[in-house]
A = this chain, B = another copy of it.
């Protein structure tokens, strides 16, 4: 149905899936740059007032999917939609990153957890009233989340 066109490209230190942080919380402080293509730059006005932004992007190195996966933080198969695994029916990724500054259409960000060269689909301002964050239950991740900051990926989702 909807045909997507990248509006930019995300530059990070991660050139291969193996060894990446598996989420922004594990990527604390790691810097990246979000290059927004010329045609879309007028849309960046006012974005520098936000300390955090939501990046929506394509898992461009993921092919196919399985509906149950063993997540990095677990040893049991879990339903795919109860995980953030990159191989999904629609391989769309979502990360909240910290925005340090914008210069010449380049967003300097922190806490990146995506591959270098990732196609950018959208940028949204992060707003706690919209996106967060009452007390929540986090299912199978309750135990696992304590270790997520230290986990790194392997090749299982390539």
**A residues within 8 Å of B by Cβ?**
1-7, 23-25, 36, 40, 42-52, 54, 56, 58, 67-68, 78-84, 88-92, 94-96, 119, 121-142, 145, 148-149
- With A24-B130, A88-B122, A126-B138 given, name 20 new contacts (CB 8 A): A1-B58, A2-B90, A2-B92, A3-B3, A25-B130, A42-B68, A45-B79, A45-B82, A49-B82, A50-B138, A81-B125, A92-B92, A92-B122, A94-B94, A94-B131, A125-B138, A125-B141, A127-B138, A127-B141, A132-B132
Interface centre among A40, A46, A94, A133 (most CB of B within 10 A): A46
Copies of this chain held together in the complex: 2
Q: Which of B125, B130, B139 contacts A82 (CB 8 A)?
A: B125
Q: Is B83 a contact of A125 with CB atoms below 8 Å?
A: yes
* Interchain CA distance A128-B119 in the complex, whole Å: 25
Q: List 18 A-B contacts (CB under 8 A).
A: A1-B3, A1-B119, A2-B4, A2-B58, A2-B91, A40-B81, A43-B68, A43-B81, A45-B82, A47-B81, A48-B139, A49-B82, A56-B92, A81-B125, A83-B125, A90-B121, A128-B136, A131-B132
Question: Contacts of A24 on B, CB cut-off 8 Å?
Answer: 130
